[in-house]
Amino acid sequence: MTAIKSFVFPGLRSRVVFGHGTIAETGAEIEKLGRGRSLVLSTPNQKADAEALAGQIGGLCAGLFTDATMHTPVEVTERALAAFKQSGADCVVALGGGSTIGLGKAIATRTGADQVVIPTTYAGSEMTDILGETAGGEKTTRRDPSILPETVIYDVDLTLTLPPALTITSGLNAMAHAAEALYARDRNPIITLMAADALKALAGALPALAKDAGDRKARAGALYGAWLCGTALGGASMALHHKLCHTLGGSFNTPHAETHAILLPHTVGFNSVEVPDLLAPVSDALGGTPGAALFDFAGSLGAPTKLRDFGLTESDLDRAAQIATKNPYWNPRPFDRESIRALLQDAWEGRRPPQ
């Protein structure tokens, strides 16, 4: 029997409603929070869905803001704040992926508004108290209790139309949250259990969805896995992987999910040299050594594997390594600018990690 060491478990602080057709519960969940006027948020691509939701909740909708943008630019948040105040809203309803959820968080932490979040991807941001914002060409992150959504509604039916390519990269993005939670400085046995189960759920669901994007059972499994991934990240600290993704996304505007998908095998492979035992759940879910197994898994799903395919140049890698090591996150394996530059080169070329 494994000896249990002392640990701190922060608890599960968001109310979660999970199932099929659960978006119909949105109005009731707003009322459970004691709120009555919501600003409904979305990206331009999901404007029609936001309008439909506004019609569904009727008088509980005070207005819409449909300009949520990737990496949560501060200038967009300022416009959304003006819309929030003008509408007289007392809460936000975020319908969409990480871009929309991030905007809801940005509004909430500035105003104290409650949040009802309805994810349509596997981003996992909805279960964390983490906010990443972009200003002046750099992305910064912070954690605060005011950032964590009060209620999350998972509706499997909303993911049935998620495009196949985004399904895969969003799922790999979620797996990155679980992987980092496994070796986080403040990890605990409960978070480890969640992360391990999440990896198994997504390892089973994503190949099925690559074959049939309308597989309802696989969609439910992927959304369940994504919930666990987000919860794991919400209960532990981020490390090297998220630092590099924030650097590339905030400073070079690389697409969020794709950046996670490409970097994950390399960051996990880098850290597995130092903590192979902590990353054993990755091998258990996929087989092989952690970094190489993730690379092969992503490749089998048709996911992108090269940073250069998103317009990054080798000189960009030099700047990215400098930014990432300027204010580094804690990481289980020490690193410096040279080692990060080498890791980014491998990811730029799409080289299979040895570990």
Distances (CA, A) of 122 to 97, 125, 167, 226: 7, 9, 8, 5
| Structural domains of the chain sorted by starting position, each given as residue range(s) with its CATH number in brackets | 15-159 (3.40.50.1970), 164-349 (1.20.1090.10)
Q: Are strands 91-96 and 61-65 parallel, antiparallel or unpaired?
A: unpaired
- Taking residues 187-198, report their average pLDDT: 96
Report the alpha-carbon distance of residue 132 to residue 31 in Å, rounded: 29
Q: What are the φ and ψ backbone dihedral angles of 220, each rounded to 5 degrees?
A: -65, -40
Instruction: For residue 296, report the phi and psi dihedrals to the nearest 5 degrees.
Output: -65, -40
Mean pLDDT, residues 158-177 taken together: 96
Confirm if 305 and 259 have CB atoms less than 8 A apart. no
Q: What is the pLDDT of residue 14?
A: 95
Confidence tier at 123 by pLDDT (50, 70, 90)? confident
Collapsing DSSP to helix, strand or coil, 93 comes out as strand
Taking all residues of the chain, what is their mean pLDDT, rounded to a whole number? 96
Mean pLDDT, residues 240-258: 93
Q: Above 80 in pLDDT, residue 323?
A: yes
Q: How far apart are CA 335 and CA 210, in angstroms?
A: 35
pLDDT at 2: 65
Question: Which residues lie closer than 8 Å to 210 by C-beta, 6 or more apart?
Answer: 164, 167, 168, 300, 301, 302
Q: What is the pLDDT of residue 93?
A: 98
Residue 303 main-chain phi, psi, to 5 deg: -75, 155
Q: What is the mean pLDDT of residues 162-166?
A: 95
* 106: exposed, middle or buried (Cβ count in 10 Å: 0-12, 13-18, 19+): buried
pLDDT of amino acid 60: 98
Distance CA 198, CA 191 (A): 10
